[in-house]
Amino acid sequence: MDRKQMCVANVQYKKPTANEAKRAKGLLRYLTYRESRDEGAHYAAGRERWEDHGMGGLVTEIAARCEALQSQHVLLFSLVYNVNPDLIAMVAPERREQFVRELTVQTTEAFFEQRGIDGGLEYSFVTHHRQTDDPQSPGRHDPHTHVVLPGTYYDDGLGERVPLYFNRNKQVDHIAMLHNLTEQQVADQMDRYVGSDWERRYDDLEAARAMQLAITEQPAHGAVEMDDGTINFWVGARRTDEQSSAAGYYWTVADGDMEFRPLISGLRHDEAELLARLLHNEISGDFAALRQLADGITEMSGAEREVFFADVRRLDFSPPEWEPDLDINIDF
């Protein structure tokens, strides 16, 4: 796999102005009481929410520490560690929080140790358990962490606090350094939490998706009128993860890429493929009919689905054999 796709590690900062200080407190409250923009915290906020490594465990404590330890230009830094959901899906659900917490501590401390900051930097972080909003595979578990750092750190050699900075130039690129350390830490943890074959399994998943995407090389199954014109679509299936697939359609998105939109999720791989073929056969290129038929299947109970798929497996989707028409009438 492309190691750059293993984990996102982003850095942002707030300036020490009155307006930015207000925004910073809003950020801390958001991190404490939310899992995402659309989802509240899953459990009681407070010290249980934050892991304190010197910056505090409550909004008021962390905000006060940020103000006390600010530099001339930075009130606080915020880091985000977000592992690729395809990789997290391979980790046992009960071990995923431990995975992202370990990643956060090990990478953050290795990063500052490599920079020569080995004991004078405080931080606190919170773990979020949101669901993915990726339109191709929405609703998957997406645990990640937010780290809060002060604008200064204690320099043992100077015996005082000095500004913390993140350079990104030809001489030193701290962002690239952080990304490299994050990728290595994720790889090490995947070996321990999942097994040494995790990369092959990821490549197999991507290969299966590529084969499913190849359906878009065939003539379109239909077209749908949108505000900005007519868009072709192809009915198909896509692997959600190693255990499940979805049936839906492929179409071209705004940037010109072909993307999948699931209509029926949580299917076994064979069920998704069968269902995609059935939907294609039944809708006659009508996008509204596709959505209506998919909605009806989604609303089925578990028992109804079992009967439905038992019937679908008995269907023959092969095209009819061609037979020559020997009744030829030629007029001269």
- Residue pLDDT tens, the chain, 332 long: 887 889 988 899 999 999 998 999 999 999 998 888 778 877 655 667 899 999 999 999 999 999 999 999 999 999 999 999 999 999 999 999 999 999 999 999 999 999 999 777 999 999 999 999 999 999 999 999 999 999 999 998 889 999 999 988 878 899 999 999 999 999 999 999 999 999 999 999 999 999 999 999 999 999 999 887 889 999 999 999 999 999 999 999 877 789 999 999 999 999 999 999 999 999 999 999 999 999 999 999 999 999 999 998 888 776 655 555 544 443 43
pLDDT computed for residue 265 by the predictor: 95
User: CA-based angle 19:38:202, to the nearest 5?
Assistant: 110
Helix (H) or strand (E) holding 60: helix 59-68
Same domain, 190 and 232: no
Residue 202, in any domain of the structure: no
Please tell me the distance from the alpha carbon of residue 84 to that of residue 290, in angstroms, as a whole number. 31
What is the DSSP secondary structure assignment for residue 295, as one 8-state letter?
A: H
User: In the numeric block, which tokens belong to residue 262?
Assistant: 């699931």
Residue 121, in any domain of the structure: yes
pLDDT computed for residue 4 by the predictor: 81
Same domain, 187 and 288: no
Among candidate residues 27, 13, 141, 32, the one with its CA nearest the CA of residue 72: 13
Q: Which CATH number is 56's domain given?
A: 3.30.930.30
Please tell me the distance from the alpha carbon of residue 274 to that of residue 247, in angstroms, as a whole number. 9
Picking from 151, 167, 196, the residue at the C-terminal end of a domain is 196
User: Within a 13 Å sphere around the CA of 41, how many CA atoms are in the beta-carbon half?
Assistant: 15
Domain of residue 290: give its range. Answer: 213-313
Q: Are 238 and 245 in contact (CB under 8 A)?
A: yes
Same domain, 240 and 94: no
Structural domains counted in the chain: 2
For residue 231, count other CB atoms closer than 10 A to its CB.
15
Residue 143, in any domain of the structure: yes
Same domain, 279 and 253: yes
Determine the residue type at 197.
D
pLDDT computed for residue 330 by the predictor: 37
Same domain, 228 and 129: no
Q: How many residues does the chain have?
A: 332
| C-alpha torsion angle, residues 303, 308, 310, 316 (rounded to 10) | -170
